[in-house]
Amino acid sequence: DVKVTQSSRYLVKRTGEKVFLECVQDMDHENMFWYRQDPGLGLRLIYFSYDVKMKEKGDIPEGYSVSREKKERFSLILESASTNQTSMYLCASSFSGGGPKNIQYFGAGTRLSVL
């Protein structure tokens, strides 16, 4: 079974803090993704990475950065947390290529509250 592990299920941080969300996958997937989920807005892509040290902006990258130093690990960084970044953060991974290889497997999510 594919396993995508997010380091924390719940986090509470203060405005202005630097926040690290970690994600690890064990399926040797080339691609990794960070989304946030908010009520009524669905899943919105923040950043994704298709190879080590490679990254591309998604739909809502502002206020976020990412790091992928190893194939299995993808980190999301909130440089200076703000209250509007309170959300559910979801990490996913997949193989490269079309069709069934595009199936993304998700972690359990991190519920981040910024006070």
Partner 1 sequence: DQQVKQNSPSLSVQEGRISILNCDYTNSMFDYFLWYKKYPAEGPTFLISISSIKDKNEDGRFTVFLNKSAKHLSLHIVPSQPGDSAVYFCAASLTGANSKLTFGKGITLSVRP
Q: Does 77 help bind partner 1 (rule: CB under 8 A)?
A: no
Nearest to 91 by CA among 13, 15, 23, 2: 23
Residue selected from 40, 53, 69, 84 as contacting partner 1 according to rule CB under 8 A: 40
End-to-end alpha-carbon separation of the chain, Å? 37
Min dist. Cβ of residue 19 to partner 1 (A):
19
The site for partner 1, by CB under 8 A, has a size of 31
Min dist. Cβ of residue 107 to partner 1 (A):
5
Helix (H, G, I), strand (E, B) or coil at 58: coil
Closer residue to partner 1 in complex, CB, 26/79: 26
Residue selected from 79, 96, 113, 115 as contacting partner 1 according to rule CB under 8 A: 96
CB of 77 closer than 8 Å to CB of 51 = no
Strand partners, 105: 93
Please state, in angstroms and rounded to a whole number, the distance separating the CA atoms of residues 52 and 92: 15
- How are the residues of the chain apportioned to helix, strand and coil, as percentages rounded to the nearest 5? 5, 50, 40
Closer residue to partner 1 in complex, CB, 12/80: 12
Residue selected from 48, 68, 78, 85 as contacting partner 1 according to rule CB under 8 A: 48
Tell me which residues touch partner 1 (CB under 8 A). Answer: 4, 9, 31, 33, 40-43, 45, 48, 50, 56, 90, 92, 94-109, 111
